[in-house]
Amino acid sequence: MAAGQHPDIVVSSGIEMPVPADGELWAVGAVILNQQGRAFALKRSPDRRLFPDCWDIVGGHVESGETLLDTIVREVREETGWRLRRVRRLLSVTTWTGDDGDGLRHEADYLVEVDGDLDHPALEWSKHTAYDWFGPEDLPRLKENRAPGEFLIHELVAAALQDRPDTP
């Protein structure tokens, strides 16, 4: 299937999907809520270059030739084994610089819905050591091993939980 063609995935009206310019590094993230309204997060392994031993949402870098939607589809499948069903809304677009020497990145993060066995994600165990479902009372855990001011994941999950969409 060509880049950007996903007829089985619903993208809610008005959702912005930026198009990376030549030379720009982009990443995408996906906040996934279960039927109880809790958000899925993965614990990055301690040997990862970026954000080692930190909680993260599903996502990753946009590869050459991919659209942001292509990347969300691929990352959800690779990191959980689930299938993207719907992009509900854009949570944020940010710009940040990692400590890995790759420079400035742009990131678009979305609230999404998936199909699959949410009780049994198929994790990439070489990249992640744990997963959990986070409710409002669990938000402080998302700051574990993060430097001050490095709370994007905490903020994204908090926004998704605070403004939970109606159950489909």
Q: What is the pLDDT of residues 9-63, one digit of tens each?
A: 999 999 999 999 988 999 999 999 999 999 999 999 999 888 899 999 999 999 9
Q: Is residue 87 in some structural domain?
A: yes
Residue-number span of the structural domain to which 108 is assigned: 25-162
Give the distance from CA 11 to its chain's centroid.
Answer: 16
Q: If 0-12 CB within 10 Å is exposed, 13-18 middle and 19+ buried, where does residue 101 land?
A: exposed
Q: How many domains does the chain have?
A: 1
Q: What is the pLDDT of residues 114-161, one digit of tens each?
A: 999 999 999 989 999 999 999 999 999 999 998 887 899 999 999 999
Q: Is residue 12 in some structural domain?
A: no
Determine the average pLDDT of the residues in 87-105: 86
Q: Is residue 82 in some structural domain?
A: yes
Percent of the chain residues topping a pLDDT of 90: 77
Q: What is the pTM of this model?
A: 0.90
Q: Is residue 158 in some structural domain?
A: yes
Q: Is residue 14 in some structural domain?
A: no
| Contact predicate 107/27, CB 8 Å | yes
